[in-house]
Amino acid sequence: MIVESAVGDAIVTAKQLIGVNKKLIIFKMTQVHVSKEILSRYMDLEEKGRVMCEYLWIDGTGEGIRSKCRTMESEPKEPKECPVWNYDGSSTYQAEGSNSDMYLNPVAIFKDPFRRGPHKLVLCDVLKYNKKPAESNKRHTCAIVMEQAKDTHPWFGIEQEYTLLDVDGHPYGWPKNGFPGPQGPYYCGVGANKVYGRDIVEAHYRACLYAGVKIAGCNAEVMPAQWEFQVGPCEGIDMGDHLWVGRYLLHRVAEEFGVVVTLDPKPIEGDWNGAGAHCNYSTQAMRDPEGIKVIEVAIERLSKHHVRHIKAYDPKEGKDNERRLTGFHETSSIHDFSAGVANRGASIRIPRQVAEEGCGYLEDRRPSSNCDPYAVTEVIVRTTVLDV
């Protein structure tokens, strides 16, 4: 049985009756195609001076990103020029239907690489009906901590790993009825038999540069279909702002290619690397001559709060990371704290160049790929600077 409709280049075909009873008929959708050429006709229309602002926020899962658009009569230059807005929190795991309005409080503005021109991406804090931060709003307390520590000039750089999937949830480019060859040739690989999805990666990089996200680099990772982009150095609260917008752009770009991005820390069980968000961190004192002594003090403080950090390093307080931090595949054990020079199997790695030069930064390798960067950077500063 085939049901088909066509409008211009847009085709939707439904076929294969897969379930029938007296009350239920189920159709399996097997093809959906929308022409980008049709869309381009409308994207070139004149906007008459009005501006589209896409408001972005973090939903109740602590890792999902939502967005919606509103029109403004002129181009906003600062977040305060964008009005507070609202949305239905009962549909984002953040409120009950009987009291569902949540507030979107603009905190950062970026250029919109999809609409271009004067159009903007507006990153928002989420506030509850009583104007207090939502439970998933980790930015609020992070901003307070960064203000308290601003004289130490904390810098961060996060290495965001992710995996590309087909819409069926299978790793992008992998054989449908098997596995690719063992890990080894894929990390920073070149060639169609070693890397999958480079066009997505390149498009995302350009989108970040256009938007103003402080993207620092990218590379193919150890598992095929796994990639990484780095954001930083960013000072204070900017780290979380820029990484969240970088993630939004990644999901949007992949959407254009019909590919799914997962930040799951262990998307494929077995002898495959997981995905993390290694956090590189320093203060001005660490970057100054003989800063290695300050780094060593910071590591000693970190060693005393291992459990607190593990709970802050993924949205499920360690349950997600437990699948990744096994002591294998370039990770430390989730149960133990360790540190070492150039040791990728440690909780904290001191880069060899830092050890040789006697100053620089440390790398915390524990954060999960689906971590909230606000929570990660906040707890690091609390432990190493504020000592609370």
Taking only the tens place, the pLDDT of each residue in 86-123 is 999 999 999 988 899 999 999 999 999 999 999 999 99
Condensed to tens digits (0 to 9), the pLDDT of residues 262-287 reads 999 999 999 999 999 999 999 999 99
Mean pLDDT of 170-188: 95
Distance, C-alpha 309 to centroid of its chain: 19
Beta strands in 308-359 (DSSP E): 339-341, 348-350
CB < 8 Å & 24+ apart, contacts of 170-178: 171/196, 171/223, 171/224, 171/225, 171/267, 171/268, 172/196, 172/197, 172/225, 172/259, 173/197, 173/224, 173/225, 174/224, 174/225
pLDDT digits 0-9 by tens, 116-150: 999 999 999 999 999 999 999 999 999 999 999 99
Residue among 122, 125, 144, 146 at smallest CA distance from 135: 125
Task: List C-alpha distances in Å: 281 to 28, 183, 324, 348.
Answer: 49, 29, 22, 11
Q: Quote the pLDDT of residue 61.
A: 96
Q: What are residue 298's phi and psi, to 5 degrees?
A: -60, -40
Going by C-alpha positions, the residue among 162, 173, 185, 291 that lies closest to residue 231 is 162
Q: How confident is residue 32, by pLDDT bands cut at 50, 70 and 90?
A: low
CATH architecture of 145-385: 2-Layer Sandwich (3.30)
> Could you tell me the pLDDT band of residue 34, with boundaries at 50, 70 and 90?
low
Residues 245-257 as b/e (b if ≥16 CB within 10 A, e otherwise) read bbbbbbbbbbeee
The reported pLDDT for the residue numbered 171 is 97
50-135 and 145-385 agree in CATH topology: no
Q: Identify the pLDDT of residue 88.
A: 96
Number of neighbours of residue 170 by Cβ within 10 angstroms = 15
Beta strand 120-127 with 10-20 is unpaired
CB 364 within 8 A of CB 306: no
Topology, domain 50-135: Ubiquitin-like (UB roll) (3.10.20)
Domain ranges of the chain: 50-135, 145-385
CB atoms within 10 A of CB 63: 20
pLDDT(7) > 70:
no
Instruction: Indicate the angle between helix axes 238-256 and 139-148, nearest 10 degrees.
Output: 140
Q: H or E element: which one contains 158?
A: strand 155-165
Nearest alpha-carbon partner for 58 in 113, 109, 105: 105
> Most distant CA pair in the chain: distance in Å?
79
Q: What number of residues does the chain have?
A: 388
Instruction: Describe the crossing of helices 373-381 and 139-148 by its angle, rounded to 10 degrees.
Output: 30
Q: Determine how many CB atoms are found less than 10 A away from the CB of residue 39.
A: 10
Which residue bears the tokens 């601003």?
150
pLDDT over threshold 70, residue 229: yes
